[in-house]
Structure 1
Amino acid sequence: MDAAGDEAILQAELRRQQTLLLTQQLPVMAIVNALNALLVSSLFLFGTKALLAGVWLAIMIASSALQMMSWFNLRKRVVPQTVSGKGLRRAEISSAVIGLLWGLTAFFFWRSGDFFSQTIVIVVLGGMAAGVVSLLAPIPTVSRAMLISILTPLGLRLVWEGQPIHWVILALLAVLCFALIKGAERSHRHMIELIRSAGAMRGVQADLADAIEATSDAIGHFDAGLHLIAANTRFNEWFPDVSVVACDSAEGHVRAVAADRWVVSKLLPTSRGGFVSVHTDITDLKQREDQIQAARLSAEEASRAKSAFIEQVGVTLRAPMEEVVAYLGSNDSANEERRAEIASHAVRVLETVSDIADISTIDSQSYEYRFAFANVRAIVEWSAKAAAARFGKRRTANLQVNIHEEIADLVCDERALKRSLMHLIVNALENTPDDKDVGVDVRKAHDGQVEVCVWDFGSGFEPDHLAQIQDLLDGAQVAHAHDLQGSHGIGLGLRIVSQVLQRHRASLKILSEPTLGTFAYVKLPYRASIYAAQDALEPANDIDQSTPRLDLASVASA
């Protein structure tokens, strides 16, 4: 705002404060006016000027009554924020008229040669002038009008008398008048400074209130009894029902104020015995702290999983290698059965190392899928033979493979799909006794998809075991993966199955009942395979990571 605007606001507030002061002083002035009029007129009511004194007294009493009536009317009204100058101008005229009535006493009741009566008139008029100025000093126009209208007739009378004593009194009255006018001006300037200071203070308070309102903290002001006096909007939003502060400490403590908000609360004393409650939102910090804690726990779990994995790898590789070492150190010629057993152990070592290499490349997204048309029968037969080879001739007899004649070629990564199906068959053989059957059925589903079912009548899985399978297929740590693979694996097979089938847009459902067996259904959509072939034209690392993982929890509950 410019200087002219500030000056206009200042003058408006000045008029308002002067109006308030005038309203407060009206009854005092009316009473003083009436009492002094009675005192002066009493000296002349029984003399030669009794009639004049009575008329003058009546006029003065009437003016006092009008002042009291004005005061009664004004005090019932609410003084508006903006006051015009009309009321002050009326007060100025009224003061000039009343002052003139008082000043005329220097002619009405003046007795030439009677110094006593003259002294009374001079003292009363000087006292009235000084009293009015003292009451209305911040309103110089009103007080000056009263002062001049009282002392001017008195000064003229003193000049008219012309005695030396009268000239001395006139000089004293001039000094008094000058002092009263200067005092009124000083009071007026003081009021202006007070108004400016009050305006500046209100501006500072408004700026402070805006700053408190704009802060990200919730701030509440409480009295010494810890009852809420004022608060910013954020405090009212966070604590809508708070009227008495809780026993917070100046050191602060963390607490939840809602389901999703955390704050640090502090209670700070003020210099006047109250308290300020400050609440800082630390929800983001709390969430990051929770994330860091979760990451730490995840890292610890990963470390434990790594240790367990390495331990299981060692156990898995040590047993067949010990057999090979024992065989090489033996001087006896081994028979065919012993040779086959050693070969089986060597195959297990090779397959374990191959699984580790496969899952490493798949997890690092560096495996390059090569999609092409492939014969489904050849894929399934190779997978069945490779799985049976891990167990020797003892399991080949009860492994049944049934492939529907209408199965057409499929677009897929032949090597990856072979190893995935092999791992499913290996799992079935692992969990099935030698005297129970294991089978692979391949047929064309009603919706045109290729359905591969790997089944067994083995021990089956408990519900919690199926949940562990879910975790493994969803990419969880493999700390307990060896428990899913029996005593012959390290749990990488199911991870490979999950990654490969997802890349082929395939689905996997596992149904299992304890002691009855397990059925693993793999569906390979022909069209989805075409899409996968198109994806193969993109860089190998551009694998769609948004593909949802398989939900075996729903399968387990089916």
Structure 2
Amino acid sequence: MDRILYCLTIEHDLRWTLAAAILCIFGLGTAFRLLVEARSLQRARRREVALLGAMVGGVAAFSTHFVAMQGYDAGGEVRYGVVLTLVSLALGVTGVALGSMLVMVKEGRLYRGLGGLVGLSGVAAMHFVGIAALQLPGRVIGWDPVLAGAAVAGGLAMALLTGAVVYGKSGARFAATCLCAALSIIILHFTAMSAMSVSPEIVAAGVSGPTLSASTMLAVLALMVMGIVAVAGAVAWMGYFSRSSALKQIREAIDAMPDGMAFYDADDRLVLWNNRYDEVNPELSSNLQAGMTFREIIQIGLDEGLYAEAKGREKEWIKERMASRRALSTMMEQRIAGDRWLRVADRRTAAGGIVTVCTDITDLKNDARALAEARDAAQAANAAKSQFLANMSHEIRTPLNGVIGVAQALANTGLSPTQTEMLELIQSSGRTLQVLLSDILDLARVESGRLELSEEAYDLGRAVRDAAQLYEASAREKGLQFFVEIAPEADCWIAGDVVRLKQILTNLVSNAVKFTTEGFVSLTAAPGPDQNGKPTLRFSVEDTGIGFDCQTRERLFSRFEQADGAITRKFGGSGLGLAISRQLAEMMGGELDCESEPGGGSAFILTVPFKALEAPSAVAAGVAEQTAGDGATVRVLLADDHPVNRRVVEMILAQADVALTSVEDGAQALQAMRDADYDLVLMDMQMPVMDGLTATREIRLHEAAMGLERTPVVMLTANALPEHVAAAEAAGADLHLAKPFDAAELLNLVVALPKAMAKSIAA
């Protein structure tokens, strides 16, 4: 240790020593900065910058060595061998370059530590080759191997520590890295110099090869130092230019933002704002100045009358606004004078400042208002459509009831064959109109979401047979084979909507019979494959009819579409049945699909959930089996304002033992109930003076007040929508029979319902 201190203080000029240390720190700092910059560049550019950093580091180590040698007292003239000096420079640059390559290969302590060791090894080789380049006339250099080894070991240890431990990306860690790296070279140099001794040469040797004098070497070092300074200046300028360019780009980006942005410091004073902030606050833009507080800015807005919600309560509004700003509430919408709207959001920065973002949402508010108005208009239109459908249902069903009812009554009279044929045409057309009307109303209810499915127990086998039976006669008349097959597992009781299931099946069977001229039509019901772990029922309606192609299949379930869509088509129909059937199937949680080919028949497959139930222990016998001849005359009160409907009911009930009293409105029906006793009331719903619902409620009140038995009331009306049925039940009606009705159904009801009610009361 004494030898090292002696070398530093006695054998070296401290001024050159200090200059060498400063040069080493400065040069290595420049090299490290270049290596850091290289990491952020693309591959080709990265190699160039990394190589420049390695060269600067090597030259800095070389210059440090020879600047320190300028202050070394060798006891006489010192000359430098050119060849070995250049070799030492190459070794230093190569060693540092290899170390830099290791550092650039992969981020991590291991690679940084290895890079430090390799770089310092190159510097050590440079040092000893540089010493070998010294030519001292009349003197010879000797070495202490222990100190020389200590010099290399100490430098390597410090280089390893620098790369693996000290290095960091912060400013302080970067400065520490530069100091420790320089210290590793300083330890190497001055410890190695203390290991060197200069003694007189016994046998004088001549100077070999070209050499440089100390002054020439000093000039060369000056050029190297100038190069390092130039590179350092370039690096500094590049850093400044990069930061300046980045700040300029950030400023341009902020100004190009679609939203207004302002930055306030920790004291809530305005620091900067973009152009859009001026645009969304035109009333404030001329008054905005850096250093203004947010409180002063909103006060300007209050003075300008910008904030409609603050009028008459300015102080309270300011407190609320400042409180929300301090709380940094998520977002607030603010109405500005001129029916403008701003969305304001405040966010706090790490330094305690606040970034305020203002977005002009006037167009959004106007669009929302327009959408709300459009929604209200659409709802009003939908309500008007529903009312129109209800009115049209009533108006169409009323005359249709007359056509069908009179035709059915006429069928029971003596007719000639020609008259019978004409009557069948009338009845067929009436039924077609009735189906079309029902389809249109069903489609409207499905689209509006007002069609609800019931969940009740029913006999699946009986429902399937009933659906098929409606068209069995038509199939036989066309010479078709007609099959109905129900698997034993499916011939059971299930839960579901039997009315809608029969509606789908009858539609499919009707189409199959209609579009088939020869061959067969079959309806099968059997358990289907499980879907999502739940059992299903599979219904298949197959025929040997006209069939259809793939293009037709794609549009077949659309509204008003048929496979036979030509203007010369031979098959009628609305084209609504399949569209409604598919929608009903989906409402049931199932699906409806088909397979077909032109001329090869069709197969329609309905799949619905299978909810099997236990069969009821006893099923009550229907009242339909009762006849008109097994009791006394039935007293019936009919209330209907339409004379044709009254006449139709009179002709139908004339076939049974019925005493019929007819009135024209609900008020007359109520008075008739007060004046006489009746077994059954047939009440129209829509009548003048007093409607059927009001009249029914008044009848129930009259019965309750007088202690009379309940008289069955049947709504015999063209109002057939579900809401009409529900309203009738709420008013006190017992049944709802929609027009047009079947004559046999009305006769059966008139005879059976009073007796069934009487038995229920007696029980």
TM-score, normalisation: structure 1: 0.35
| Greater length-normalized contact order (CA 8 Å, ≥ 6 residues apart) | 1
TM-score, normalisation: structure 2: 0.27
